[in-house]
Amino acid sequence: MLQFDIILVFLMASAAIYCVRTRVPKPFSDRVRDVLICAAHYDDCVIMGAEYSYRALENGQSVTIAFLTCSGPNPEAEIACVRKAEALAAWSAVGIPEKNFTFLNLPESPVGGPLSYSDQDAAIAKKKLQFAILTLPECAAIIIPAEGESHVDHRTVRKVTLEAIVESQRKDLLVYETPEYNTFLSFFHSPRRTFWTMLRYVPLFNRIVGSYAGPPTYMDGGPGSVFRDTPSPLAVKKKLLGFFHSQNVALLIHHFGYATPYRRASVSKMSRARVRRWRFVAFGSCCDASILAMGVGLLTVTWLTAYELASAFTVAATPLIDARTGLVLLGVASASAYLVKRFRRTAALETSLFVWVAALGLIFGTLGSRIV
């Protein structure tokens, strides 16, 4: 069994290295254009478009920004006014005047919903976005959130912007999509975040591994392109994030201070209803089938490792003590403890599975050991 365990670990490590390498974004090579950034909240415009905007401004092109919500319960709320002032101050620092902004002023929604505005409100916002799109220079670019964003406002601004682009009938526009944050895990599309997140559910590691903070990832397709020629665009992004004191600057930079990936998007394809691949919920996230395969592999490695360690320890300790009873009791106690934790909902099912499988490996390795 040890040989099979080593082979399985080698195969999983090789697959992991391959996936990480294939998800490295390419250097951005498109011609930078006049740009409209369609953001849900005031800080989103920096997270999504700071680097592209910096290059556009360097080339003497225009940058316009549209905000779906007022980032508060209403435009007159204190938090909404503060966040609006922060956004205006941030962009004025790179020379973008207030006249380049479109404020749709819908109320901010909770991350997971429900929407704080009606379909009629969204339709009115779409008409205003359509006007902003029609006034863009020829062959301009539009930046929208990528598919599958966790925040319902991000999903809404993507939807209404795509509809506004279609209804404007402008064929000259180039649309880029970029992710901010989502809970999607995939062995192929987000390997680093997947490994990091799964580690948080492994006993002992869950006490030392914090939440993932790294480059954003798409739910499917290619990894996109980032500005890599100089560190200037990313430095500007971090500088602009520093204006949003109401949102905790340190956390913003920690979670979003990474190169933003941009990916060309087909408006006609994005406007059609997409067929969802088989997905399920695990590790606190939405997962694809690759996570099931990876989970089975990790559980198999856990079982084999526990089996081999128990067997080897039993054989090695036999001349001194009879370790069988103690190891079996340890396995039963561990499994029972996490059965109680699951019943009390103080341990995740995924964490419990790792313990139960390790406990079974410990018990079977002890009982199956050959003592000469």
pLDDT (tens place) for every residue of the chain, 372 residues total: 667 778 878 888 888 888 888 889 999 999 999 999 999 999 999 999 999 999 999 999 999 999 999 999 999 999 999 999 999 999 999 999 999 999 999 999 999 999 999 999 999 999 999 999 999 999 999 999 999 999 999 999 999 999 999 999 999 999 999 999 998 999 889 998 998 898 889 888 877 888 888 888 998 889 999 998 767 899 999 999 999 999 999 999 999 999 999 999 988 766 655 656 678 899 989 999 899 988 888 899 999 999 988 888 888 776 666 678 888 899 999 999 999 999 999 999 999 999 999 999 999 888 876 543
CA-to-CA dists, residue 304 to 148, 297, 309, 363, 365, angstroms: 37, 11, 9, 12, 9
CB 163 within 8 A of CB 126: yes
Torsion from C-alpha of 118, 121, 127, 131, nearest 10 degrees: -130
pLDDT at 274: 60
Q: How far apart are CA 86 and CA 68, in angstroms?
A: 16
Instruction: Give the residue from 55, 56, 59, 54 showing the smallest Cα distance to 90.
Output: 54
Determine how many CB atoms are found less than 10 A away from the CB of residue 291.
Answer: 23
The DSSP letter of residue 262 is B
**DSSP string for residues in 97-163:** -GGGEEEEEEPPPPTT---SS-HHHHHHHHHHHHHHHHTSPTT-EEEEEPTT-SSHHHHHHHHHHHH
List, in order of start, the domains of the chain with CATH numbers: 1-25+184-213+278-372 (no CATH), 31-181+216-274 (3.40.50.10320)
CA-to-CA dists, residue 137 to 36, 52, 145, 170, 185, angstroms: 10, 16, 21, 11, 38
pLDDT at 277: 65
Helix (H, G, I), strand (E, B) or coil at 286: strand
The residues with which 102 forms a beta bridge, in sequence order, are 66
pLDDT at 365: 87
Place of tokens 């089938």: 289
pLDDT at 372: 38
